């Protein structure tokens, strides 16, 4: 039992892949910011759905279809509870955070942004929260305004406040940086934006597995997350949007289930959330995601956060002792990520060598090239933590980096 109250031995037994042999040893999986592993509860939920309930939703009246529809809409209710949305109609199932941002950009953004307007985001955004807005700005002849970060990787809140202007039509901001682990002061940022009548989209892909989300307390206009980052299946995610926004937004894609009636003369669109869920959805994915949300909630986000905070602090201390190693991003409020560079060794070489010891880390620009440029590096090595990681995983990483030093001197 850890100080945080998590029974690590029991939790690790819930994740079959952690027993997988890599290079002759059980894997030390430290690439959780890219995707998390899945507990048996999720695997069992997926198998049960396909073995017992598989049918299409919202269409037929036979028993299997009724079961599938109950499971799918039940998953929506679980997602509503996970982010504390006021109404299940505010939960739209999407393929992930990327699709959610694109959906908002193509509907809400295209409706509200005009020539000369500005969209505010930060230098630490993932490409998925940059490129859709760039595309919109190109179309509308608007422009992006970028909030800087300090040398420690903290968002410059004073600069953010100065950059909000009468031309600002939207703020799109990360909750937790995928490349640095920095937790942004998102509640205060939303408050400052709303004081000027500016709506806010929050990219919560990296926050969802680490911190409790309460969209009502945040009062954000949109919140997006990906299921595979929070122990759920790939290809499923959630867009939360305030109901008033979703009702006013035009549909994004046309097809089945997003309509009330269709003639060649006119189509009447369905109400939210179905208006934004054209075609057959990832039913099993939603069921699996609901199982993941239940699993995380059962362990307690506060316990998970405390455990991961200990791992980040321990890893930061141990890595800082390595000769020639420099930590990138040292903000005091971090969640789940430690990024670093080692002398002139390319991060890909670091990741390749530590993999020989069965340690899985990420290397590259982490879909955050503007942030890499800000810190004067082309790439970093990144160790990212989840609820099932241990200090032993960190020790194995540090020992493997010693092997990197042997190779490169």
Q: pLDDT, tens digit, for every residue of 222-267? A: 999 999 999 999 999 999 999 999 999 999 999 999 999 999 999 9
Q: What are phi and psi of 192, to 5 degrees?
A: -65, -40
Higher pLDDT, 241 or 406: 241
Decide if pLDDT at 300 tops 90: yes
Q: What is the CATH number of the domain that holds 125?
A: 3.40.640.10
- Which of residues 263, 298, 333 is at a domain's end? 298
Q: Supply the pLDDT for residue 252.
A: 95
Instruction: Decide: residue 2, CB within 10 A, 0-12 exposed, 13-18 middle, 19+ buried.
Output: middle
Decide if pLDDT at 188 tops 80: yes
Residues β-bridged to residue 381 = 340, 363
Decide if pLDDT at 60 tops 90: no
**pTM, rounded to two decimals:** 0.97
**Residue 379 counted as domain residue:** yes
Task: Based on the fold, state whether residues 280 and 395 are members of the same structural domain.
Answer: no
Of 26, 137, 220, 367, catalytic: 367
Q: Supply the pLDDT for residue 135.
A: 98
Task: Based on the fold, state whether residues 178 and 158 are members of the same structural domain.
Answer: yes
- Among 202, 210, 215, 212, residue whose Cα is nearest residue 230: 210
3-state DSSP call for residue 124? coil
Task: Based on the fold, state whether residues 206 and 262 are members of the same structural domain.
Answer: yes
Over the Cα atoms of the chain, what is R_g?
Answer: 22
Decide if pLDDT at 29 tops 70: yes
What confidence tier does 406 reach under pLDDT thresholds 50, 70, 90? confident
**Residue 36 counted as domain residue:** no
- Which of residues 298, 329, 350 is at a domain's end? 298
The per-residue pLDDT for range 315-332, each reduced to its tens digit, is 999 999 999 999 999 999
Q: What is the CATH number of the domain that holds 16?
A: 3.90.1150.10
Decide if pLDDT at 22 tops 90: no
**Residue 358 counted as domain residue:** yes
**Residue 81 counted as domain residue:** yes
Q: Supply the pLDDT for residue 16.
A: 97
What confidence tier does 219 reach under pLDDT thresholds 50, 70, 90? very high
Q: What are phi and psi of 21, to 5 degrees?
A: -85, 125
Task: Based on the fold, state whether residues 386 and 262 are members of the same structural domain.
Answer: no
Instruction: Decide: residue 120, CB within 10 A, 0-12 exposed, 13-18 middle, 19+ buried.
Output: buried
Task: Based on the fold, state whether residues 286 and 238 are members of the same structural domain.
Answer: yes
- As a whole number of angstroms, the distance between CA 395 and CA 357 comes to 12
pLDDT above 90 covers what percent of the chain? 95
The per-residue pLDDT for range 75-95, each reduced to its tens digit, is 999 999 999 999 999 999 999
The per-residue pLDDT for range 354-363, each reduced to its tens digit, is 999 999 999 9
Task: Based on the fold, state whether residues 367 and 273 are members of the same structural domain.
Answer: no
Task: Based on the fold, state whether residues 169 and 195 are members of the same structural domain.
Answer: yes
Q: Verify whether residue 367 is a known catalytic residue.
A: yes
3-state DSSP call for residue 362? strand
- As a whole number of angstroms, the distance between CA 381 and CA 377 comes to 11
Q: What is the largest CA-CA distance in the chain?
A: 73
Task: Based on the fold, state whether residues 209 and 175 are members of the same structural domain.
Answer: yes
Task: Based on the fold, state whether residues 323 and 286 are members of the same structural domain.
Answer: no
- Which of residues 298, 315, 335 is at a domain's end? 298
- As a whole number of angstroms, the distance between CA 162 and CA 71 comes to 47
**Residue 37 counted as domain residue:** no
Range of the domain at 398: 8-30+301-408
Angle, CA 184 vertex, CA 36 and CA 172 arms, to 5°: 85
Task: Based on the fold, state whether residues 251 and 329 are members of the same structural domain.
Answer: no
Task: Based on the fold, state whether residues 324 and 366 are members of the same structural domain.
Answer: yes
- Residues 118, 167: contact at Cβ < 8 Å? yes
Decide if pLDDT at 344 tops 80: yes
**Residue 2 counted as domain residue:** no
**Residue 18 counted as domain residue:** yes
**Residue 38 counted as domain residue:** no
Task: Based on the fold, state whether residues 56 and 198 are members of the same structural domain.
Answer: yes
Q: Supply the pLDDT for residue 5.
A: 82
Q: Supply the pLDDT for residue 1.
A: 62
Mean pLDDT score across all residues of the chain: 96
Count of domains in the chain? Answer: 2
Residue spans of alpha helices (H) in 265-300: 283-299
Q: Supply the pLDDT for residue 23.
A: 86
Decide if pLDDT at 50 tops 90: yes
Q: Supply the pLDDT for residue 408.
A: 84
């Amino acid at each position: 039992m850890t100080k945080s109250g998590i029974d690590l031995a029991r939790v690790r037994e819930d994740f079959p892949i952690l027993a997988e042999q890599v290079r002759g040893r059980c894997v030390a999986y430290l690439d959780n910011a890219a995707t998390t592993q899945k507990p048996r509860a999720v695997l069992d939920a997926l198998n049960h759905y396909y073995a017992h309930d598989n049918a299409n939703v919202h269409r037929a009246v036979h028993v299997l279809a009724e079961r599938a529809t109950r499971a799918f809409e039940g998953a929506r209710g679980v997602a509503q509870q996970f982010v504390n949305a006021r109404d299940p109609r505010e939960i739209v199932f999407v393929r992930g955070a990327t699709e959610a941002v694109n959906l908002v950009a193509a509907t809400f953004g295209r409706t509200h942004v005009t020539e000369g307007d500005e969209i505010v985001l930060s230098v630490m955004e993932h490409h998925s929260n940059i490129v859709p807005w760039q595309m919109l700005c190109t179309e509308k002849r608007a422009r992006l305004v970028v909030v800087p970060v300090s040398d420690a990787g903290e968002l410059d809140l004073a600069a953010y406040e100065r950059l909000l202007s009468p031309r600002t039509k939207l703020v799109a901001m990360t909750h937790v940086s995928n490349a640095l682990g920095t937790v942004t002061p998102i509640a205060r940022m939303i408050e400052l934006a709303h004081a000027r009548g500016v709506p806010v989209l929050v990219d919560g892909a990296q926050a969802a597995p680490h911190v409790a989300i309460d969209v009502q307390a945040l009062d954000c206009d949109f919140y997006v997350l990906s299921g595979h980052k929070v122990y759920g299946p790939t290809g499923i995610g959630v867009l939360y949007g305030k109901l008033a926004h979703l009702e006013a937004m035009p549909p994004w894609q046309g097809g089945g289930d997003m309509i009330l009636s269709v003639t060649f003369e006119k189509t009447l669109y369905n109400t939210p959330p179905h208006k934004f869920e054209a075609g057959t959805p990832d039913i099993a994915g939603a069921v699996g995601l609901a199982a993941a949300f239940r699993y995380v909630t059962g362990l307690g986000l506060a316990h998970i956060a405390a455990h991961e905070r200990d791992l980040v602090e321990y890893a930061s201390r141990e890595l800082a002792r390595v000769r020639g190693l420099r930590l990138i991003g040292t903000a005091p409020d971090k969640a789940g990520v430690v990024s670093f560079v080692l002398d002139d060794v390319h991060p890909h070489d670091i990741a390749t060598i530590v993999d020989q010891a069965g340690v899985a880390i990420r290397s590259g620009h982490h879909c955050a090239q503007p942030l890499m440029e800000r810190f004067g590096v082309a790439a970093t090595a990144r160790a990212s933590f989840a609820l099932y990681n241990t200090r032993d995983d960190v020790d194995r990483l540090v020992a493997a980096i010693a092997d990197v030093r042997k190779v490169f001197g």
